[in-house]
């Protein structure tokens, strides 16, 4: 999944995982806990609560747009949801944020990766607001996962300040031998200012993910 020479905060890697299934997390002793206010062991146990519900969808990235507010929303299922308070092109959202560091000093390949990256903005006020997995459950209506905001991230728009929880509704994912395709998602209508609901679904034939 990622090379052994990466450590520190691996949020950027987990939030932009490729379409292939997650196989393993290497060297957790060299990385920060992946969830806030948890130890490394607690973080992995929490992630596996989602793995046990839908192992094939874990960390699958889906992007949709809240057109009324011009927000871009990136869902890394079972881990985190990022909300950008502006429109972003899909290729830019899919780039891995360089939140991590290389822990092998003097590596001749330092700074060279097998994936496209973008810089992690030094100003916290210009980063996306992050909602981390809180709980996940499966029922007759599908799989519902909820994500809570842990940090205010100094946003100034009232709509973002009010938003506290994002709920994501999905069906269990069954991968086949076909070339994997990124799923689409829709922001569902809601009158609750502190809650956003998102439905992930298969994209329609020739449907593209884009902002308009």
- Angle at Cα 185 formed by Cα 75 and Cα 66, nearest 5°? 85
| Per-residue pLDDT, 4 | 46
Instruction: Decide if pLDDT at 1 tops 90.
Output: no
Question: Per residue in 155-175, pLDDT tens?
Answer: 667 778 889 999 999 999 887
Instruction: Decide if pLDDT at 83 tops 70.
Output: yes
User: Residue 156: which residues within 8 A CB-CB, separation 6 or more?
Assistant: none
| Per-residue pLDDT, 132 | 97
With bands split at pLDDT 50, 70 and 90, how would you rate the model's confidence at 138?
A: very high
Length of the chain as a residue count: 212
User: Residue 60: which residues within 8 A CB-CB, separation 6 or more?
Assistant: 17, 19, 76, 77, 173, 182, 183
Mean pLDDT of 4-19: 75
Q: Residue 75: exposed, middle, or buried by beta-carbon count in 10 A (0-12, 13-18, 19+)? A: buried
Better-scored residue on pLDDT, 194 or 8: 194
- For residue 48, the tally of other CB atoms under 10 A from its CB is 13
Average pLDDT, whole number, for the chain? 83
Question: Per residue in 37-75, pLDDT tens?
Answer: 999 999 999 999 999 999 999 999 999 999 888 999 999
Q: Residue 110: exposed, middle, or buried by beta-carbon count in 10 A (0-12, 13-18, 19+)? A: exposed
- For residue 114, the tally of other CB atoms under 10 A from its CB is 6
Instruction: Decide if pLDDT at 107 tops 60.
Output: no
| Per-residue pLDDT, 156 | 62
- Angle at Cα 45 formed by Cα 44 and Cα 51, nearest 5°? 85
User: Residue 45: which residues within 8 A CB-CB, separation 6 or more?
Assistant: none
Tokens at 202, concatenated: 């298969």
Instruction: Decide if pLDDT at 209 tops 70.
Output: yes
Coil, helix or strand for 172?
A: coil
With bands split at pLDDT 50, 70 and 90, how would you rate the model's confidence at 190?
A: confident
């Amino acid at each position: 999944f990622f090379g052994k020479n990466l450590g520190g905060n691996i949020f950027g890697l987990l939030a932009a995982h490729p379409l292939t299934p997650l196989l393993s997390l290497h060297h957790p002793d060299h990385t920060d806990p992946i969830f806030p206010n948890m130890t490394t062991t607690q973080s992995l146990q929490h992630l596996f609560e989602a793995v046990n519900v839908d192992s094939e969808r874990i960390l699958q990235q889906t992007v949709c747009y809240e057109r009324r507010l011009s927000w871009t929303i990136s869902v890394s299922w079972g881990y985190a949801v990022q909300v950008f308070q502006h429109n972003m092109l899909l290729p830019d959202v899919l780039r891995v944020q360089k939140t991590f560091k290389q822990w092998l000093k003097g590596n001749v390949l330092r700074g060279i990766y097998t994936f496209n990256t973008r810089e992690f903005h030094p100003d916290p006020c210009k980063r996306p607001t992050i909602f981390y997995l809180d709980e996940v459950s499966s029922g007759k209506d599908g799989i519902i996962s909820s994500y809570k905001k842990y940090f205010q991230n100094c946003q100034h728009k009232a709509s973002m300040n009010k938003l506290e929880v994002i709920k994501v509704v999905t069906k269990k994912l069954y991968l086949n031998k076909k070339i994997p395709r990124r799923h689409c998602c829709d922001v569902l209508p809601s009158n609750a200012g502190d809650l956003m609901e998102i439905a992930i679904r298969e994209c329609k034939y020739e449907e593209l993910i884009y902002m308009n």
